[in-house]
Structure 1
Amino acid sequence: MTKEKLFITTLQGKPNERVPFWFMRQAGRYLPEYRELRATTKGFLDLCFSPEKAAEVTLQPLRRFDMDAAILFSDILVVPYGLGVDVRFAEGEGPIVAVTNTAEKIAALRLEYIKEKLEPIAETVRLVKKQLPQSTALIGFAGSPWTVACYMLQGRSGKEFAAAREFAYAHAALMQSLMDVLSEATIEYLRMQIDAGAEAIQLFDSWAGLLPPDEFAKWSIEPTKKIVAAIKQSHPHIPIIGFAKGAGLNLPNYAQATGVDAIGVDQHTPMGFGLQAAT
């Protein structure tokens, strides 16, 4: 009989003796062992697509802290990479993404590439799953379509993503086409992770807070709702966490309308408000 995992049973709403914990960025630069391993790779994406090394990075924090869950080491921008977009990480600059802001460029995105190009990440999940303690859950993740689209339309990191917001406002039909492709790609990618062994999923909408209420409903809630419904249809037992950073007063609507099982809250959201939104 498989032992129940505290992290999973908590997401299922079952009472537990304590609150499970994990860090949202628990693998990475604060660990000297990560920095040592990172120095052996050509670039950040090379690390993400090296299953043995990515699995090791995923497991590193668990050797230091008694966490109830591991989260896959990867990046939200592997999805556009999987669609055939040029994605690279420049030292000191962060991600640089080929801008995808015309009908021709959006039409050139290839869903059929996803399985082949992202298979190394599924292999990372399998390797991690084999080595995890029996009581530790494995979280898979993806970026929500709006947040991924921000990078594809801006071409790099930013704080305001003006190019993405302007594109969504001025070219709503094209934006919808891009979001549809990203939603389908994300569904495929998450299913790959689950089939490889992920036991819960988190959707990161890191730039949801940039959207006003009407746009928030259209570009954050609706794509998330579509992804959640698809995953629940194929894998109904998998809990899904939605993290719409900066959602603020939009959070209750997000929690109820998307169908997620749990929500993440940011540092600006009182825990009481988050709990009320989730229930």
Structure 2
Amino acid sequence: MTFAPLQNDTFLRACMRQATDHTPLWLMRQAGRYLPEYCATRAKAGSFMGLATNVDYATEVTLQPLERYPLDAAILFSDILTIPDAMGLGLSFAQGEGPKFAKNVRDEAAVAELAVPDMDKLRYVFDAVTSIRKALNGRVPLIGFSGSPWTLACYMVEGGGSDDYRAVKTLMYRRPDLMHRMLAINADAVALYLNTQIDAGAQAVMVFDSWGGVLADGNFQDFSLAYTRRVLAQLKRTGVDGQVVPRIVFTKGGGLWLQDMKPLDCEVLGLDWTVNLGAARALVGSGEHAKALQGNIDPNVLFAEPAQIAAEAERVLRSFGAPHTDKTTTGPTHIFNLGHGISQYTPPESVAALVEAVHRVSKQMRAGA
């Protein structure tokens, strides 16, 4: 497969801790319900899964935010729960509700049925990656992604979202052997899934450990981090065009464990809004195993007025500190993002204010302003 040469590689350079002319910006869930054009396409598709499993629709909605805003990366439009769906758990989305599985995994018999799924069942995802990469035509890089082994296990055991994580933690404490068995299968499935996205044209990959932060200290390391490590150990280092494919790990609520995450075999750590970027930079931004940092403005800032959004964006940029500007070396770098996914109620014009402020202020900081 050959793709058009990349015109804006700012995001990839920042992932590799190389100096850039501005701080690159993309948003978690940037193709989503806050955009009226997304809602129109979803209505045509008839359902969320109708949207995600149709290559043309998935391509269309991935590109929609890039038509509106000068973002520095695109992220595949899909869902973190495609893997358990391919394992036969029966994923569905009711309008206005979260995901639900027809079957859950709570006992020995259910765990015994689990296996790394045939990737042909997820062909729609890989076809979408290739289609989006072609449609981008080199405009910006394309990020592929998966849920983490632990986060997938949470949904698989709970059967959907959860407020108290009671079912998954009950299984973890009562039968840690079963939980470890499930997590090993999930890790190998995630690695194969991300590698197949890389083969289809993804230029960076991200592991979303959305529920890692609900674990107790010690359990996080044993039941989440260990299996994220198992995924990373299996990932391809280069993509179809021979370029390095950076790996991003985001643990919501994981700021407590940055020191534990520093040795991870990845290039970027994503942070939620509870973490001070300057403190994170001091911990993991330089030295052995240094990481680029991604994040971390509170998504609810986007409900403020444009001037307040710009001020908060500047505060986040300045909390990271002076940008790395020496193009002959690597150093601490920052990729601007939200601390979690964008709310469906966000005014689209608020995103325009954020993108403008990040690009403007980050250029001024590099000019010494």
* Residues 88 and 202 of structure 1, relative CA distance in 2, 3 Å threshold: same
What is the DSSP-based 3-state SS (H/G/I as helix, E as strand, rest coil) of the residue aligned with 1:23?
coil
Structure 2 CA distance for aligned equivalents of residues 40 and 149 of structure 1: 32
Structure 2 CA distance for aligned equivalents of residues 114 and 33 of structure 1: 33
- What is the CA-CA distance between 1:2 and the residue it aligns to? 4.3
What is the DSSP-based 3-state SS (H/G/I as helix, E as strand, rest coil) of the residue aligned with 2:229?
helix
- What is the CA-CA distance between 1:248 and the residue it aligns to? 2.4
* Residues 234 and 60 of structure 1, relative CA distance in 2, 3 Å threshold: closer
- What is the CA-CA distance between 1:109 and the residue it aligns to? 2.0
Q: Aligned partner of 1:106: which letter?
A: V
Q: Which moved more, 1:41-50 or 1:74-83?
A: 41-50
Matching residue of 1:245: 252
* Residues 114 and 257 of structure 1, relative CA distance in 2, 3 Å threshold: farther
Matching residue of 1:136: 140
Q: How does 1:1-279 map to 2 (within 5 A)?
A: 2-3=5-6, 5-97=9-101, 98-111=103-116, 113-232=117-236, 237-254=244-261, 256-279=262-285
Higher relative contact order (Cα pairs below 8 Å, separated by 6+ residues): 2
Q: Which has the higher helix share?
A: 1
Unaligned runs of 5+ in 2: 286-369
Q: Which moved more, 1:65-74 or 1:229-238?
A: 229-238
Q: Which moved more, 1:63-72 or 1:235-244?
A: 235-244
Structure 1 CA distance for aligned equivalents of residues 114 and 49 of structure 2: 20
CA contact (8 A) 2:195 2:235 kept: yes
Counting aligned pairs with the same residue, the percent is: 37
- What is the CA-CA distance between 1:212 and the residue it aligns to? 1.2
TM-score, normalised relative to structure 2: 0.72
- What is the CA-CA distance between 1:133 and the residue it aligns to? 4.2
Q: Aligned partner of 2:104: which letter?
A: V
- What is the CA-CA distance between 1:43 and the residue it aligns to? 1.9
* CA RMSD of superposed structures (Å): 1.7
What is the DSSP-based 3-state SS (H/G/I as helix, E as strand, rest coil) of the residue aligned with 2:120?
helix
Structure 2 CA distance for aligned equivalents of residues 216 and 62 of structure 1: 36
Structure 1 CA distance for aligned equivalents of residues 31 and 129 of structure 2: 15
Structure 2 CA distance for aligned equivalents of residues 93 and 16 of structure 1: 40
CA contact (8 A) 1:37 1:53 kept: yes
Number of residue pairs aligned between Structure 1 and Structure 2: 277
- What is the CA-CA distance between 1:270 and the residue it aligns to? 1.2
- What is the CA-CA distance between 1:83 and the residue it aligns to? 1.4
Q: Which moved more, 1:268-277 or 1:6-15?
A: 268-277
CA contact (8 A) 2:255 2:271 kept: no
- What is the CA-CA distance between 1:91 and the residue it aligns to? 2.2
Cα distance per residue 1:43-83 (max 9 Å; x no partner):
21121111110111111000000011000010000010111
CA contact (8 A) 1:139 1:199 kept: yes
Structure 1 CA distance for aligned equivalents of residues 156 and 46 of structure 2: 23
What is the DSSP-based 3-state SS (H/G/I as helix, E as strand, rest coil) of the residue aligned with 1:139?
strand
Structure 2 CA distance for aligned equivalents of residues 9 and 265 of structure 1: 19
Structure 1 CA distance for aligned equivalents of residues 54 and 282 of structure 2: 41
What is the DSSP-based 3-state SS (H/G/I as helix, E as strand, rest coil) of the residue aligned with 2:146?
strand
CA contact (8 A) 2:204 2:246 kept: yes
Q: Aligned partner of 1:244: which letter?
A: T
- What is the CA-CA distance between 1:7 and the residue it aligns to? 0.8
Unaligned runs of 5+ in 1: none
Q: Aligned partner of 2:19: which letter?
A: P
Cα distance per residue 1:95-114 (max 9 Å; x no partner):
11221112221221232x43
CA contact (8 A) 1:58 1:72 kept: yes
Q: Which moved more, 1:58-67 or 1:259-268?
A: 259-268
Structure 2 CA distance for aligned equivalents of residues 208 and 143 of structure 1: 11
TM-score, normalised relative to structure 1: 0.94
Larger radius of gyration: 2
